[in-house]
Structure 1
Amino acid sequence: MTDILKMGQTILALQPFSKSLGAELTELGDGKAVIELPLQEDHKQQHGFAHGGVVSYLADNALTFAAGSLLGDVLTLEMKINYIRPAKGALLISRAQVLSHGKRQAVCEAKVYAVENGEEKICGIAQGTVMPVS
C-alpha cells in the first residue's frame, strides 16, 4: 500500500457521511482514484436500485480524491452526472481520473460501475471541476 493511499484512506475515514455509507478508497495516486461501496438495502430507492444520490456521491468523492492526489486539499466546484442504467448488484465502484489540471483547478471524469454476479456494468459517468482549498 502506498503512502498516498494510506493518507487518502485516513481522510475518507474522517468523513462521517462516507463512513456511514461504508465507502472504501482502494486506489489513489497519479491523478486517479477508485472508491468501492458494498451496496446495502439502506442505499436503495423504492425500485431496489442504488439511489441516484449514492451513485452521485461515489462519482463526486472519486473526482476529488483523483484531483487531490495532484493538487492537495480540494473541493468540488461543479459536477455533472449522466445516469446510464439502474445501479444494482452487490458492489458499486467509482473510477476517476484527472483529464486536465493546472495550479488552480482540475477537470476530472468518474465512471461508476455496478457489479452483479461478478460482472461490471457502467451505470453513470460524471465530469467535474475541482479546486484547491487554499
Structure 2
Amino acid sequence: MTKLEQIKERMLADDAFSKWLGIEIDEYAEGYCKLHYTVRAEMLNGFGIVHGGVVFSAADSAFAFACNTQGRISVALDVHVNFVRAAKTGDVLFVEAKELHDGYKTGVYDIITRNEAGEIVSIFKGTAYRTSKEVLSS
C-alpha cells in the first residue's frame, strides 16, 4: 500500500461523520479528491431539499482528504461556500476537490459539488493550514 493510500485509509477509519454521510471516494491523488454520496431523507431540511450543512460537510470532507495528501495534518483555516442548486432525496452528488496552491504552510482548494446531470450544486473554496504533525504518526 502506498503512503497516499495509507493516508486515505487512516483518515477514513477515524471519520465517523463522513461515514454517516455515506461518502465513497472515487479518485484520490496528491492534492485531489473526488467522491460521491446519495442524498437520504434524514439529510433534508424543512423544505424537502438537502440541508446546506450536508452539502457543506461533504465538500469539507473532500477538502480534508485533498489537503492531507501532503502527509502533514492540515486543517481548515478559511472556507466559503455558495449554494447554487437544490438537491433532493435519491440524488447522487459528486464532489471534486482540486488543489490550486500548494504552499509550505497553506494550501488553497476549489471544491465543486455537482448533481448527476453535471449541474453545479455548490462552489466551495478552502484554505488549509498545514501543521508540522504527520498524518500517519498521529
* Structure 1 residue 37, shift from structure 2 partner: 1.1
SS in 2 for 1:99: strand
The 8 Å contact of residues 7 and 71 in structure 2, kept in 1 or not, is answered as no
Change (3 A) 1:24 1:2: farther
Change (3 A) 1:102 1:110: same
1:92 aligns with 2:114: no
Identity rate of aligned residues, in percent? 30
SS in 2 for 1:56: helix
CA RMSD, Structure 1 to Structure 2 (Å): 1.9
1:65 aligns with 2:50: no
Gaps of 5+ in 1: none
| Superposition misfits of 4+ residues, deviation over 3 angstroms | none
Structure-2 residue corresponding to 1:21: 21
* Structure 1 residue 133, shift from structure 2 partner: 2.9
Q: Give the AA of the match of 2:118.
A: E
Structure-2 residue corresponding to 1:124: 122
Pick which of 2-11 and 104-113 moved more: 2-11
SS in 1 for 2:78: strand
* Structure 1 residue 58, shift from structure 2 partner: 1.4
Structure-2 residue corresponding to 1:111: 112
Structure-2 residue corresponding to 1:41: 41
TM-score by length of 1: 0.86
* Structure 1 residue 6, shift from structure 2 partner: 5.5
Aligned length: 131
Q: Give the AA of the match of 2:120.
A: I
Structure-2 residue corresponding to 1:77: 77
SS in 1 for 2:85: coil
